[in-house]
Amino acid sequence: MRHVRPVPPRAARDGTAALYRQLERDFGVLAPPIALLTPAPECAAATWVALRESLLVDGRTSRADREAVATAVSRANTCPYCVEVHGATLGSLDPAEDADDPRARPVTDPVEQVEQDAVTLTFEHINRLVNVFLPDSPLPGSAPAAVRGPLRRATGAVIAADRGSPVPGASLELLPEPARRAPVPDDLSWAVGDARIQRALTAAVSAIDEAGARALPATVRDLLHRHLAEHGTGAAGIDRSWVEAAVRDLPVSVRPLGRLTLLTARASYQVGDDIVAACREAGADDAALVRAVSWAAMTAARHTVRTASDRTGRTPPENERNQL
């Protein structure tokens, strides 16, 4: 892992210990994209809630359908780590599926669409976290080419193994009570057709919003919201000059965090050691870095899915929302 040190399993206590137990039981491995967030345990729990409830709990779509979405989103976000993990998992679940060119199955059922969108939101979030904090592959860099394929397939088989359907909503107990009682934000109205998923995502985004407020001043958070509204989440180019223009009106003391959040949202693979070092010099510890990156990643994910939902007209009209 890069930039932060997660809580070792042997040192985990209370909520983090409960998270690790549930993660290993339901996912099969102590997944690094969740474990790396444990310096800010509320972010680790929230990300796990989104992952578990969208990808692992039984729904109308199959697990293979959802893994295909996860792999396709990860490929679009240039997240080779997640492509490798979830492509291998997809191959174990459905050997006939082309993990090199995964396609989300077209759906017309509104609940199936919510399930696909929930996976999209989760991986728009996780891909950005992984690009900042993890290497390009879960396999050791020293592993010979001849054994990388078998190792990859073995990892996919472990994650894809049938452990029975996880109990819906059981992960929510890992989140603070205020997050579990949070009202549904407008940008999650697309999930109204599935109350379980909408409740889980609402709790997850509420916890991450609170974490962002702890780590980032309002000036930085407002900047990212304005920037995404104007430019969207697409990559801005091969260099980072656009970031300097975007942060120039911020106080000098918070510009490092401004750069970190903007890059996480739009070009997470461009967050280098220099960006993190500048945040460290400005006083950010591991917990602050995790909270800042988690908030920026989730804010970008929410913007992406809400924009797609609005563009395709998938959000139910007000009268339909009231009937569901």
pLDDT band at 23 (very low <50, low <70, confident <90, very high): very high
Statement: residue 261 has pLDDT above 80: yes
Lowest mean pLDDT among 104-113, 126-135, 258-267, 277-286: 104-113
Model confidence over 220-259: pLDDT tens digits? 999 999 999 999 998 887 889 999 999 999 999 999 999 9
Q: What is the rounded distance in angstroms from the CA atom of residue 237 to the CA atom of residue 266? A: 10
User: Cβ of 98: how many Cβ atoms within 10 Å?
Assistant: 13
Sequence-ordered list of residues with C-beta below 8 angstroms from that of 193, at least 6 positions apart, any chain: 110, 111, 113, 114, 316, 324
Q: What is the rounded distance in angstroms from the CA atom of residue 25 to the CA atom of residue 305? A: 29
Q: What is the rounded distance in angstroms from the CA atom of residue 191 to the CA atom of residue 299? A: 16
Question: CA 87 → CA 65, 66, 97, 105, distances in Å?
Answer: 12, 11, 9, 15
User: Cβ of 230: how many Cβ atoms within 10 Å?
Assistant: 8
Question: What residue has token string 């009570």?
Answer: 177
pLDDT at 316: 55
Q: What is the rounded distance in angstroms from the CA atom of residue 51 to the CA atom of residue 108? A: 23
User: Cβ of 177: how many Cβ atoms within 10 Å?
Assistant: 9
pLDDT at 318: 47
Q: What is the rounded distance in angstroms from the CA atom of residue 98 to the CA atom of residue 92? A: 11
- The active-site residue out of 43, 79, 82, 279 is 82
Pick from 207, 175, 201: nearest CA to 186: 201
Question: What residue has token string 């976000």?
Answer: 77
Model confidence over 86-103: pLDDT tens digits? 999 999 999 877 666 776
pLDDT at 105: 77
Alpha helix ranges (H) inside the chain? 14-27, 32-35, 41-51, 63-76, 80-93, 110-133, 145-160, 177-180, 195-215, 218-231, 241-247, 255-267, 273-281, 286-312, 318-323
By residue count, the chain amounts to 324
**What global pTM score does this model have?**
0.94
Statement: residue 41 has pLDDT above 50: yes
pLDDT at 317: 46
Lowest mean pLDDT among 119-133, 173-187, 226-240: 226-240
82 is catalytic: yes
